[in-house]
Amino acid sequence: MLRFYKGSILFTIACLILAAAYGWQLHGTVSGMLSLLWIVFVLAILEVSLSFDNAVVNASVLDGMDDIWQRRFLTWGMVIAVFGMRIVFPLAIVAIAAGLGPVDAINLSLNDPHRYEEIVSSAHIGIAGFGGAFLAMVGLSFFFDADKEVHWIGWLERGLSSFSNIKAMEIGLLLVVIYGISLLLSPADALTFIVAGTMGLVSFIAVEAVGTILEMREAAQKASGAILRSGLGGFLYLNVLDASFSFDGVIGAFALSNNMVVIALGLSIGAMFVRSMTIMLVKKGTLAEYRYLEHGAFWAIIALGAIMLFSAKFHIPETITGLIGAVLIGLSLWWSVRHNRREAAD
């Protein structure tokens, strides 16, 4: 077990040392430093609790990739996850929304964190539309599959699988939901929401298209194509998926702190543990051992996508988001254990 989390533990120690130094510089007292360390720790727990379903889904994709790309996901992907989504992404939102340059956006985040939080939060409509649409498509595409043979919630999953014979059924369903939610918003917010949701849908199709193109190359060049498809295509898919998952964590983090450095340190620790958890699930063959675990994770993704979409109009606490995912995965795990015991008895 330790070998899977060794890198995450070392990374956590380094981040906590940086947090302690930053807290001492910021407050100049032991109590202030400990208070900042506690916020970083809670943010890390928040990220892990919100992203456990992400780890299960990542493992299902990563299982088809070779060892080289698995390591690249843990290293290159970590750089993208930490610096891209936990630091650069909020700064980019501020720069675009406020019409600032990159340096000015960084200065604003460090010197006026309250204004920085307000600008990032003001972009929630677009984030909810994009992230919710992408995640919903990830979940729906798993169940709208005519070749799917294993079903957890039998009557429902078999029904969805049968509807997969109707082309683009899941896309039409998602567009209807996006339009319905847009009717609840003001005209300006509705336009932002529809455009963002459409871009999330297009991004999913684009990532799928990359996988299809690489799959076609595999047919022409079997050896190199197989490595390229399972590596590059899966790598792109995983990073876009991780980006969509990280939206709620980044926005929810402002409930605990509006300091960019504190948020980045806390969420980065959580992101690293999620990646280690993903590798562990692949190496130990957990998905094959617990046959319904993957189903629970994809239902959790659909739930998270729906929550993100409806959060454009209604405030939904992050605790509810994390609790729904945990319950669905816990139930699927219990169902898997029960199935394994029944098979062993037979």
**If you count them, how many residues does the chain have?**
346
For residues 265 and 243, what is the distance between their CA atoms, to the nearest angstrom? 17
Domains in the chain, number: 1
The whole-number pLDDT of residue 182 equals 94
Residue 180 has pLDDT above 90, yes or no: yes
Of 250, 279, 216, 281, the C-alpha closest to 94 is: 250
CA-based Rg of the chain, rounded to a whole angstrom?
Answer: 21
Token duo for residue 319? 């605790």
Mean pLDDT of 212-234: 58
Mean pLDDT of 86-102: 75
pLDDT band at 319 (very low <50, low <70, confident <90, very high): low
DSSP, residue by residue, 188-226: HHHHHHHHHHHHHHHHHHHHHHHHHHHHHHHHHSHHHHH
Indicate the DSSP class of residue 150. Answer: -
Token duo for residue 336? 């898997």
On the CB side of 182, CA atoms within 13 Å amount to 21
Mean pLDDT of 211-236: 60
Share of the chain above pLDDT 70, in %: 87
Of 259, 209, 288, 265, the C-alpha closest to 42 is: 265
The whole-number pLDDT of residue 59 equals 80
Residue 188 has pLDDT above 60, yes or no: yes
Contact 153, 220 (CB under 8 A): no
Residue 148 has pLDDT above 90, yes or no: no
Mean pLDDT of 147-164: 82
Kindly report, residue by residue over 239-290, the tens digit of the pLDDT: 777 776 676 667 667 667 777 788 888 888 888 888 888 888 888 877 778 8
For residues 73 and 242, what is the distance between their CA atoms, to the nearest angstrom? 11
The whole-number pLDDT of residue 221 equals 55
Token duo for residue 288? 């094959």
Residue with the two structure tokens 């070779």 = 66
For residues 42 and 40, what is the distance between their CA atoms, to the nearest angstrom? 6
The whole-number pLDDT of residue 197 equals 92
Token duo for residue 46? 């928040």
Residue 329 has pLDDT above 90, yes or no: no
Indicate the DSSP class of residue 186. Answer: -
Kindly report, residue by residue over 27-71, the tens digit of the pLDDT: 888 888 888 888 888 888 777 766 777 777 778 777 777 777 777
DSSP, residue by residue, 302-330: HHHHHHHHHTTTS---HHHHHHHHHHHHH
Residue with the two structure tokens 């993208």 = 80
Share of the chain above pLDDT 90, in %: 11
Task: State the chain's mean pLDDT as an integer.
Answer: 80
| Of residues 234 and 109, more confidently modeled | 109
The whole-number pLDDT of residue 245 equals 67
Residue 151 has pLDDT above 90, yes or no: no
Mean pLDDT of 137-158: 83
At 124, the amino acid letter reads H
The whole-number pLDDT of residue 185 equals 92
The whole-number pLDDT of residue 46 equals 73
| Of residues 15 and 119, more confidently modeled | 15
Structural domain that includes position 87: 2-345
The whole-number pLDDT of residue 193 equals 94
For residues 132 and 196, what is the distance between their CA atoms, to the nearest angstrom? 9
For residues 338 and 343, what is the distance between their CA atoms, to the nearest angstrom? 9
pLDDT band at 227 (very low <50, low <70, confident <90, very high): very low
For residues 136 and 71, what is the distance between their CA atoms, to the nearest angstrom? 28
